[in-house]
Amino acid sequence: MAAVLLLDAGNQRLKWACLSCSDLKSVSHTGFAGLSQVPSFRTGVADLYEGDCKLTSLSSLKQALQDEEQETGLILSSSVAGSDVREHIEQICRQTWRCSPEFIAPDRSLLEYTNRYDNPTQLGSDRWLAACAARQLVDELSKQGGAPEAVIVIDAGTAVTVDLMVDREFQGGAILPGYGTTIQALGSKTGQIRIDADNLVRQSGIERFQIDAVSLAATNSDEAVKAGAIASVAGGVRYMVDQFQSALNEPSAVCVSGGDAQLAASSLDMPCYFFENIVLTGLAMEADKKIV
For 20, residues 6+ apart whose C-beta sits below 8 A from its C-beta are 1, 2, 3, 4, 39, 40, 70
Query: Which CATH number does the domain housing residue 14 bear?
Result: 3.30.420.40
The answer as to whether 163 is a domain residue is no
The answer as to whether 32 is a domain residue is yes
pLDDT of residue 240: 97
pLDDT of residue 207: 46
The values of phi and psi at residue 189, to 5°, are: -110, 0
CA 156/CA 45 separation, integer angstroms: 16
The answer as to whether 214 is a domain residue is no
CA 262/CA 82 separation, integer angstroms: 28
Alpha helices in 30-155 (DSSP H): 59-68, 83-97, 125-141
The answer as to whether 128 is a domain residue is no
pLDDT of residue 32: 47
pLDDT of residue 59: 63
Q: What is the DSSP string of 116-141?
A: --SSGGGS-HHHHHHHHHHHHHHHHH
pTM for the model: 0.84
Q: Which amino acid is at 281?
A: T
Q: What is the largest CA-CA distance in the chain?
A: 61
Q: Which amino acid is at 71?
A: E
Q: Give average pLDDT by consecutive 10-residue segment, the chain, 292 residues.
A: 80 79 60 55 62 52 58 83 83 82 80 87 93 90 79 94 95 94 76 56 48 65 82 94 92 91 90 88 85 66
- CB 111: neighbour CB atoms within 10 A? 18
The answer as to whether 12 is a domain residue is yes
Residue span of the structural domain in which 100 resides: 3-106+280-290
Cβ contact 186:197 at 8 Å: yes
For 284, residues 6+ apart whose C-beta sits below 8 A from its C-beta are 4, 6, 17, 19, 24, 27, 35
The answer as to whether 45 is a domain residue is yes
* Count of structural domains within the chain: 1
